[in-house]
Amino acid sequence: MDADPPPDAERRSALAIDMNVFIPSAITNLAQRIASSATAAYLPRWGVGITDWRILALLAAAPWTAPVEIGEATGLDKAAVSRALRGLIDKEFVEMRADETRRRRQPLALTRAGLAVHDEIVTLARQREARLLTGFTTQERAQLSDFLARLGREAAQL
């Protein structure tokens, strides 16, 4: 016969982390909520999810970027970049420059349609950012940007 299970107090670790204040978890949870709401806003109107949007935004700033560089710049894995690019090419938002010598590194850029969609989404993205930062002073916004940049540099060293 099995012994009685331990009481709840014995099932808790003295080292348990409060995931609401543990910074890596809090940032991940916040990023996920922001990304999910962005997809909900962009997908019905433009057929673009957050992964697609990140690629569009990158290519709008840096045309003729290779897929491997898109992954490095966005932090997306190769499979996610590949899937998103296939969809963006099918929608004719992105075009690939043929380069037989660099098949895996064929550069990509936005088409006219891709640029138009990007520019429309930027307006909404900036509105969403402003809403997120409502109540933050100019100084607090600058501090937040500084904190995020510092965390990013430290994360790169982990």
pLDDT of residue 20: 86
pLDDT of residue 154: 94
Residues whose CB is less than 8 angstroms from the CB of residue 38 and which lie 6 or more positions away in sequence, other chains included: 50, 53, 125, 128
pLDDT of residue 102: 65
pTM for the predicted model, two decimal places: 0.82
Residue whose C-alpha is closest to residue 48's, from 97, 96, 93: 93
Residue 96 pairs with which residues in a beta bridge? 108
| Domain range list for the chain | 22-126
Residue 69, token pair as written in the block: 């560089």
Residue whose C-alpha is closest to residue 30's, from 101, 133, 154, 102: 133
* Residues 67-102 pLDDT 10s: 999 999 998 999 999 999 999 999 999 999 877 666
pLDDT of residue 1: 56
Please, what CATH class does the domain formed by 22-126 belong to?
A: mainly alpha
pLDDT of residue 80: 95
Mean pLDDT is highest, among 25-29, 71-75, 117-121, for 117-121
pLDDT of residue 129: 96
Residue 109 pairs with which residues in a beta bridge? 95
| Cα(17)–Cα(38) distance, integer angstroms | 29
